[in-house]
């Protein structure tokens, strides 16, 4: 038996389900009622990006990533997982990149086609991250403070950001801005799978939808560049 084939997914998750849910709950308890403000901020970001104010939307997303990177990963998750500090720095980096995109305008899609699949998927993911994720825990009988909220918890932050960048960005800039959200959604999905969370499949569906949107938008962009038609 080769060494790597002996590892299972659970060997990379160094905590139990109750510890993970309690971590989500502690973030909820510690920062309440900041949630109300972050929900409002998220709503403003979605409206801005759908109205073509993509640069401002990216600028407003940036502090959410830095806050989650420090508040969630470095100060809390890092106690449980030695990779937590590095992931926290990854979130801070995403915040810096979004701020740079917002400030410079590099990679901004100035003419997003609202009736195309990637943009519709982006809008859907944005709404799901902002309003869908917070209701999952309470609907499944977990406490309200376990509700995962944009700019407080990482998963809704990553899902909403993925949606926003699908609408707001294009070309290489789109991929660069989407890599860290995609990576966290994948890690989050695997964590939930190991912890037997009932909503783990949703995370993988989001991941697949995000990747589909990214590939679709990239192919459409390349076709436009070559003078061909975009996929329907």
Partner 1 sequence: MTTNTHAKTGRRQFLKLVSTGLAAMAMSPVLRAAPDGLLRKAIPATGEQLPVIGLGTWQTFNVGSDPELLDARTEVLRAFFDHGGGLVDSSPMYGSAPDVMGYALKKLGVPESLFSAEKVWSPAGGSAREQFQQLAARWGLPEFNLLQVHNLVDWRQQLETLRELKAEGRIQYIGITTSHGRRHREFERVMASEDIDFAQLTYNITHREVEARLLPLARERGIAVIANRPYDGGRLIKGLKRSENVPAWAREECGCQTWADFLLKFIVSHPAVNCAIPATTRVEHLNENMRAGNKPLPSPDCRRKMIRHIESL
3: tokens are 């060494």
74 versus 117: smaller Cβ distance to partner 1: 74
Q: Is 198 in the site for partner 1 (CB under 8 A)?
A: no
> Given phi > 0 = left and psi -120 to 50 = alpha, else beta, which region is 212?
alpha
10 versus 47: smaller Cβ distance to partner 1: 10
14 versus 231: smaller Cβ distance to partner 1: 14
Judged by CB under 8 A, the residue of 51, 79, 114, 144 near partner 1 is: 79
Q: How far is the CB of 150 from partner 1 (least distance, A)?
A: 23
CB-based contact 175:135 (threshold 8 Å): no
Q: Is 113 in the site for partner 1 (CB under 8 A)?
A: no
Interacting stretch for partner 1, rule CB under 8 A, among 8-16, 103-111, 181-189, 217-225? 8-16
26 versus 113: smaller Cβ distance to partner 1: 26
Q: Is 22 in the site for partner 1 (CB under 8 A)?
A: yes
Q: Is 82 in the site for partner 1 (CB under 8 A)?
A: yes
Q: Is 23 in the site for partner 1 (CB under 8 A)?
A: yes
Q: Is 16 in the site for partner 1 (CB under 8 A)?
A: yes
CA-wise closest residue to 125 among 62, 49, 51, 53: 49
17 versus 186: smaller Cβ distance to partner 1: 17
Q: Is 18 in the site for partner 1 (CB under 8 A)?
A: yes
- Using CB under 8 A as the binding criterion, the count of chain residues that bind partner 1 stands at 21
Q: Is 229 in the site for partner 1 (CB under 8 A)?
A: no
Q: How far is the CB of 82 from partner 1 (least distance, A)?
A: 7
Contacts to partner 1 by CB under 8 A: 1, 3, 6-8, 10-11, 13-16, 18-19, 22-23, 26, 76, 79-82
């Amino acid at each position: 038996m080769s060494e790597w084939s002996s590892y299972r997914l659970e060997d990379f998750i160094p905590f139990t389900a109750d510890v993970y849910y309690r971590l989500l709950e502690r973030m909820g308890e510690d920062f309440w009622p900041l949630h109300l403000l972050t929900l409002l901020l998220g709503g403003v970001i979605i409206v801005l990006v759908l109205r073509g104010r993509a640069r401002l939307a990216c600028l407003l997303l940036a502090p959410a990533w830095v806050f989650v990177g420090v508040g969630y990963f470095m100060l809390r998750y890092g106690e449980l997982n030695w990779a937590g500090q590095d992931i926290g720095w990854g979130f801070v980096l995403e915040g810096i990149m979004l701020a740079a995109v917002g400030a410079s305008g590099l990679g901004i899609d100035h003419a997003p086609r609202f009736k195309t699949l990637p943009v519709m998927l982006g809008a859907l993911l944005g709404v799901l991250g902002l309003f869908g994720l917070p209701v999952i825990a309470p609907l499944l009988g977990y406490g309200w403070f376990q509700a995962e909220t944009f700019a407080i918890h990482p998963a809704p932050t990553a899902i909403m950001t993925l949606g926003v960048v699908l609408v707001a960005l294009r070309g290489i800039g789109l991929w660069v801005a989407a890599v860290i959200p995609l990576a966290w959604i994948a890690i989050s999905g695997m964590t939930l799978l190991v912890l037997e969370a009932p909503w783990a499949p949703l995370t993988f569906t989001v991941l697949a939808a995000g990747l589909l949107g990214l590939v679709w938008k990239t192919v459409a962009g390349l076709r436009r560049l070559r003078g061909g038609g975009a996929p329907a």
